[in-house]
Amino acid sequence: MDVFSNGGFDIVIGNPPYIQLQKMATETNSLEKVNYQTFARTGDIYCLFYEQGFNLLKPNGVLTYITSNTWMRTKFGELLRKYFREETQTLALLNFEDTKIFQTATVETNIIISKKAKIRYPLMQLQ
């Protein structure tokens, strides 16, 4: 049975590549035409992997990625931060800033666990 006929995956786990989009030349132009909400020409391809990972999930599915943590503090990361706020429910975020947990890693990392579900804020009741 096709997983997408059942709405998608229950979970997506990954370690997307870290490639600056501006270094990808013509491929960057093609990716921009897809209209990813997280696309920033000065950004990194892993931002698009986050969005595509959520696209592959069924409602309430869970995505877990380990990536560079640069999205947490950079201008290009604004779109990904907005995406997380508006389109997902972050269940856990482990930021390993200033901690070298992988001896061969050249970037600081984070692990995020998020659910494909928008946060529903309860309506305030006026008295």
For residue range 69-86, what is the model confidence (pLDDT) as tens digits?
Answer: 999 999 999 999 999 999
> Tokens standing for 56?
């592959």
Task: Give the C-alpha separation, 34 to 30, whole Å.
Answer: 7
- pTM recorded for the entire structure: 0.86
DSSP three-state, residue 24? coil
Tens of pLDDT, residue by residue over 47-72, are 999 999 999 999 999 999 999 999 99
pLDDT of residue 124: 56
